[in-house]
Amino acid sequence: MNQEEEIQTQWHKVVQRRSFLKAMGIGTAMLPAGTLLATGVKAAGSAPTRRLTPGDAAVLRFLAAAEIIEADLWQQYNELGGVDGGNPAYVAALQNLDGDMPQYITDNTDDELSHAAFLNAYLASRGAEPVNLDEFRVLPSTQATGARQIRRLTNLRKLVVDTSFYTRYRSEQNPDLGADAAQAVRIVNQPAIPLNDTDTPPNTAQPVPPLTASARRMQAIANTAGFHFGYIEQGGASLYTSMSVKVTDLEVLRIVVSIGGVEVDHFSLWHDKLGNAVAQPLAGVVDPVTGVTFPDLNNPGGELAQTNKILPEPARFIEGLPLVSIIRPSSVANAGAVATIKSFTADLLFEGQSKEFFAKVMALAEAADAAKRRV
């Protein structure tokens, strides 16, 4: 099964699981993109004869690419740590953050698959070219028990996770007005999934606190995943917000804000769960291989650190007006498409990818950032 078929198969599973989609005239959305294009089938609520503006098409194409990338990384997390997760020690370490972590991981994965499939189907339904990154599925899977041995778009085996979102959302400062937020935890060159069964045996017990080197290693990997979930989804929240002001067609705007709202929902969930990695009783885990440390952020705590302050602090937004609780950043420079690809690259999510991959995703990103709302 190739990757496109895989996405379609996963999408069908999502549809079966989530009956609300029936109300959306899903019969059309389930058709392969080529069929929609060939037959001019009308997607729910759209006007098939009306072509998208080039700007709207560019925004939707970049968002489709971002969702394909998100789906690829979430599938890796799901194989190892989801409800049918194949690595018991990883599942147990994730459950030390919250007993429902496997369910949340699986549902987040379903959401990304649905976003990618929907955006591509919508592009095709409006006569625009869908996005396909299959030729770049070249990166190896982890060797750890539970992972399918297929080729990937993204790498989760060595990440530099930007944790500044944690302090940013606890601060009044706004990066769009020039502020820098401090890292909450320093996570450098750290795996977010287990690498192999020697490093982290899949049946290791994962008590709190972890008692053996293998258990500490696995817990540090699961904690890294927790922060990475938050990092990825806050990026999605900012990206969709920045793209929303670029689109012209009201149906496209409805799509961007409706999917963007779910990215915010994802971020909020993970922001809550990741705090348990840096709160008692789990706080204090040190990875015995990398030295990455998850301190107790409640000791001494404070406004910028306290783990249960997960809702956004009102922040500076528009000069001369009061502080307001908002998604930030939302500027094209800090939250747009190019900024997103640069951030993912700095995350090492694309480590090992070809220069052709970077050229393709940057071209999509630059086209999206160049889009302007037509009035």
Binding site for Fe ion (CB under 5 A): 67, 112, 115, 233, 236, 263, 266
**Least separation in angstroms between CB 112 and Fe ion:** 5
Nearer to Fe ion, 73 or 282 (CB): 73
CB 97 within 8 A of CB 227: no
Cis peptide before 210 (omega within 30 of 0): no
User: Which is closer to Fe ion, CB of 75 or CB of 145?
Assistant: 75
Q: How far apart are CA 211 and CA 43, in angstroms?
A: 55
Q: Which is nearer to Fe ion, 68 or 277 (CB)?
A: 68
Q: Is 357 helix (H, G, I), strand (E, B) or coil?
A: helix
Amino acid at 324: V
Q: Which is nearer to Fe ion, 246 or 316 (CB)?
A: 246
Cα separation values, 3 from 7, 125, 138, 202, 322, Å: 6, 21, 11, 27, 48
Smallest gap from residue 98 Cβ to Fe ion (A)? 18
Residue 179 Cβ, how far from Fe ion at the closest point, in Å? 25
Shortest Å distance, C-beta 232 to Fe ion: 6
Neighbours of 188 (CB within 10 A): 13
One DSSP character per residue, 52-112 reads PPHHHHHHHHHHHHHHHHHHHHHHHHHHHHSTT-S-HHHHHHHHTT-TTHHHHHHHHHHHH
Q: Is the Cβ of residue 76 or residue 206 nearer to Fe ion in the bound state?
A: 76
DSSP label of 47: -
Q: Which is nearer to Fe ion, 8 or 306 (CB)?
A: 8
Which residue matches tokens 């190019």? 338
Structure tokens at 140: 């190896």
CB nearer to Fe ion: give 37 or 239: 239
**Unique residue bearing structure tokens 């970049």:** 62
Compare residues 17 and 372 and give the one whose CB is closer to Fe ion.
17
Name the packing angle between helices 337-346 and 213-244 (round to 10°): 170
What is the rounded distance in angstroms from the CA atom of residue 138 to the CA atom of residue 320? Answer: 50
**Cβ 337 to Fe ion shortest distance, Å:** 14
> Which pair of structure tokens corresponds to residue 66?
């971002």
- We find the least distance from the C-beta atom of residue 258 to Fe ion, in angstroms, to be 11
Least CB distance from residue 29 to Fe ion, whole Å? Answer: 16
CA 30 to chain centre: 23
Nearer to Fe ion, 165 or 294 (CB): 165
Q: Which residue is nearest to Fe ion (CB)?
A: 115
Min separation Cβ 259 and Fe ion, Å: 6
Smallest gap from Cβ 115 to Fe ion, in A, equals 4
Exposure letters 26-63 (e unless 16+ CB within 10 A, then b): bebbebbbeebbeeebebeebeeeeebbebbbbbbbbb
